[in-house]
Amino acid sequence: MAEASDTLRLVPGHDSVGPAMQWLEAIADRESWPARSRFALTLGMDEALTNVLSYAFGATEADAASTPTDAAAAAAPAVVLAYRRLGDDLYLEIADNGRPYDPTAWSPAPLARTLDEAMPGGQGVRLMRHYLKDLRYRRDDGWNRLTLVASHG
């Protein structure tokens, strides 16, 4: 199948996840994704985008003491979603010019044995690794680029 692609540019804010989800759902409808593919990519995007919006752009004490090291970091905060389909694989790249963070390098804590031992948070990457075919990260010219890969079939 020929490559199909779409892009959505977002200004980071508390209301950015909704439009992103609508954009991805429209692509899923247009291309008749199977339920598993739709679930994997919507869950992965929701989790990753929520984390980007929560942590990539907020000021920290370390930020106050440093200056941006590249033009992208000095630019206005931005998030760009890019979808493409190559054959039977669906690729969704979530790019942001926030502070560097590689979620693929994160090792989740062992699962709690009981509900009483469970702590909230920290399960998103585990879920993405479970449902997605692949999860890739790279830092490129001041942009974090997280690519979620799901199978169409």
pLDDT digits (tens, 9 = 90+) for 8-41: 999 998 789 999 999 999 999 999 999 999 999 9
- Give me the count of residues in the chain: 153
Q: Does a structural domain hold residue 76? A: no
Contact 85, 37 (CB under 8 A): no
CATH of the domain at 29: 3.30.565.10
Determine the structural domain holding residue 33 and report its residue range: 4-59+81-108+122-151
Q: Does a structural domain hold residue 135? A: yes
Contact 98, 52 (CB under 8 A): yes
- Per-residue pLDDT band at 88 (split at 50, 70, 90): very high
What's the total number of domains in the chain?
Answer: 1
- Per-residue pLDDT band at 71 (split at 50, 70, 90): low
Tokens of 58: 């907020």
- Per-residue pLDDT band at 90 (split at 50, 70, 90): very high
Return the H-helix or E-strand segment holding 28. helix 17-31
Residue type, 33: W
Q: Does a structural domain hold residue 29? A: yes
Contact 48, 148 (CB under 8 A): yes
Q: Does a structural domain hold residue 115? A: no
| Strand order from edge to edge, sheet including 79-86 | 4-10, 79-86, 89-96, 143-151, 134-140
Task: Decide if pLDDT at 48 tops 50.
Answer: yes
Q: Does a structural domain hold residue 93? A: yes
pLDDT given for residue 1 in this prediction: 44
Mean pLDDT calculated for residue range 137-141: 97
